Structure 1
Amino acid sequence: MTALFHDIIFGPVHSRRLGLSLGVNLLPLSSKLCSFDCIYCECGWNAEHPGGRRFNSREDVRTQLEATLRRMVADSTPPDVITFAGNGEPTMHPDFEAVIGDTIALRDALCPAAKVSVLSNATQIHRDSVRRALLRVDNNILKLDSAFDATVRRMNNPQSASYTVRGIVEAMKRFDGRMILQTMFLRGECGGQPVDNTTEEEVSAWLRLVAEIRPRQVMVYSLDRDTPCPTLEKVTKEELQAIAARVEALGIPCSVAYARTPCSCFSPAPRR
């Protein structure tokens, strides 16, 4: 069953990729707010969770994060990573850059060994303030599920009619490799339409974009949690490893996450 996160700070949980991960949700606590409406989102369809569009305030985020970090440090269990995720797209927050600044200051003061990660669908990276903020974090993780607009429309349902893969790729290239590319691979059907970004045509075209973007790392993964569209199929670990090997042949490190792996608005921690 898909569900929302009802706290600003959630977790921590042990992540195979990130270590002890503490989640931060900038989005509304009782509704979903996202620039995508992915067919595999663990938070469900946007329309399933309507309601207030109030982002969590910068001050509430800072205050709650500070209290949690102080408690974790006092307990000798500081987080390995502070991860921005939650009920939608975190970079939509109007004070995103300032929130990142607050978080880095708290991290530096209280748990300097911790990393700061942002899990984003990349729809806001054309904004200068978002780009500046993402360049300050340790793990700037940006999504690109296909090289083809039609497949992205089917898998991710961008809420803006102006979204194009080419536009996102050009914006990603401005990071000069200071980003991690994240891609969900799946197959099946949704709404009576087939969907499969694992075909040779899809993978070859995606690899060409990976080579063009030149991220410092690529993460590939498949379904693990409940999805709003129940007719999707998980890709095998062997298939993901084969794709990863083709990425590494480009001289770019690629990790395969096969369990407890989330989507573009994915969380590093379980809900209460």
Structure 2
Amino acid sequence: MSTVIYPSPIFGPIHSRRLGISLGINLLPADGKFCTFDCIYCECGYNKDHRPKMKLPTREEVSEALEYRLASMKAEGVAPDVLTFAGNGEPTAHPHFPEIIDDTLALRDKYFPNAKVSVLSNSTFIHKPAVFDALNKIDNNILKLDTVDIDYIRKVDRPTGGYDVSSIIEGMKAFKGNLIIQTMFLKGTTDEGEDVDNTSDKYVLPWLEAVKEIAPRQVMIYTIDRETPDLSLKKASHEELDRIVGLLKEAGINAGASY
């Protein structure tokens, strides 16, 4: 099984299916994975298989590395569409995430003021006021909500601590529309043979009702694109994703799919 462990603190630029030319910012160690989820579809593999030995990059290390890369790209005439916080786990887990966001916005404005700043988060720290405030400052506050079914969440997203989906939804509603919901749809089974198809109305319709309550400015739905830790997972079809996008648009929600 192949996995992707990203360099730290800067990687890319890479081409993102959803965001365009993306310069990655990884606030987690470069030698492993650090996440409050342990998703069976994560391209970085399982937490237990990639426990880091290195420390988190410091605020100063992130800022210096980012400025060096942005200055290099400016000299090369290569402009990023977006600066994306992603990488080897949950970026908002970094203790200086809010300060790093401020540094990043200042560097973006200095070198590429037209670039967007995005954060890909599993939503587990949005209850922290400093994280909430930082996410409200950026262009693309992209928060994960794969389903509202807690049994499915425990089976597929596998939170490593306490996880209350109702609290997550309330936290998302507090952004008052200043967020993008990102949802993974997939099919197949776990390696233990448990079904993980969340494309049926059993999962889609309750999730859709929660999305309506949250009222995000956009919903991004997608399916697996790389090798996954559980080898029995399958992509959702174009038709299945298009049906879900259609339901979202019928509800007046801006939505798109990455296949």
* TM bin (shorter chain): over 0.9
CA contact (8 A) 1:33 1:53 kept: no
Rounded Cα–Cα distance in structure 2 between residues aligned with 1:175 and 1:156 = 23
CA-CA distance at 1:3 after TM superposition: 2.6
Contact 2:27 2:85 in 1 (8 A): yes
Q: Distance in 2 between matches of 1:32 and 1:65?
A: 21
Gaps of 5+ in 2: none
**Normalised by the size of structure 1, how large is the TM-score?**
0.92
Displacement of 1:54 after TM fit?
2.1
Amino acid at match of 1:72: M
The answer on whether the counterparts of 1:8 and 1:64 sit within 8 Å (CA) in structure 2 is yes
Residue of structure 2 equivalent to 1:164: 164
**Secondary structure, counterpart of 1:42 in structure 2:** coil
By relative contact order (CA 8 Å, sep 6+), the higher-ranking structure is 1
Give runs of aligned pairs for residues 211-250 of structure 1, distance below 5 A: 211-250=212-251
Distance in 2 between residues matched to 1:187 and 1:18, nearest whole Å: 24
Structure 1: which 5+ residue stretches go unaligned?
259-272
Please give the alpha-carbon distance, in whole angstroms, between the structure 1 residues aligned to 2:86 and 2:80: 16
Q: What's the counterpart of residue 122 of structure 1?
A: 123
Q: Deviations over 1:130-162 (max 9, x none)?
A: 1001000100000000111111111100011x2
CA gap 1:16/1:196 in 2 versus in 1, 3 angstroms = closer
Shift of 1:55: 1.3
The letter for the 1-side match of 2:105 is I
Distance in 2 (CA, whole Å) between partners of 1:147 and 1:135 is 23
Matched position secondary structure for 2:196:
strand
Residue in 1 aligned with 2:95? 94
After TM superposition, list the pairs within 5 Å mapping 1:62-141 onto structure 2: 62-141=63-142
CA distance in 2, matches of 1:53, 1:44: 18
Shift of 1:14: 2.7
Q: Which residue in the other structure is 1:266 paired with?
A: none
Distance 1:88 1:44 in 2: 10
In structure 2, the partner of 1:186 is 186
Kindly indicate whether residue 54 of structure 2 is the aligned counterpart of residue 48 of structure 1: no
Say which SS state the counterpart of residue 193 (structure 1) adopts. Answer: coil
Check whether the contact 2:31–2:54 (CA below 8 A) recurs between aligned residues. no
In terms of mean alpha carbon deviation, does 59-68 or 162-171 score higher? 162-171
Secondary structure, counterpart of 2:101 in structure 1: helix
Q: Secondary structure at the match of 2:11?
A: strand
Rounded to whole Å, the distance in 1 between the matches of 2:154 and 2:166 is 13
After alignment, is 80-89 or 189-198 more displaced? 189-198
Provide the rounded CA distance (Å) in 2 between the counterparts of 1:35 and 1:205: 24
Shift of 1:109: 1.1
Equivalenced residue count is: 257
AA partner of residue 205 (structure 2):
S
What per-residue deviation string (whole Å, max 9, x for no partner) do you get for residues 219-244 of structure 1?
Answer: 00111101000011110011101100
- Aligned pair in 2 of structure 1 residues 164, 53: CA closer, same or farther (>3 Å)? farther
TM-score, with normalisation over the residues of structure 2?
0.97
Deviations 1:36-76 (A, max 9, x none): 00000000000000132621111010000000001111111
The answer to whether the 8 A contact 2:8-2:27 is kept is no
Deviations 1:193-232 (A, max 9, x none): 2212112111111100010100000000111101000011
Offset, 1:19: 2.1
In the other structure, the counterpart of 1:31 is 32
The 4+ residue runs of structure 1 with deviation greater than 6 A are none
- Conserved? CA contact 1:4–1:30, under 8 Å: yes
Q: Once the two structures are superposed, what CA deviation does each residue of 1:143-194 show, in whole Å capped at 9, x if it has no partner? A: 000111111111100011x202111001000000100000000122112322
Write the letter of the residue equivalent to 1:204: L
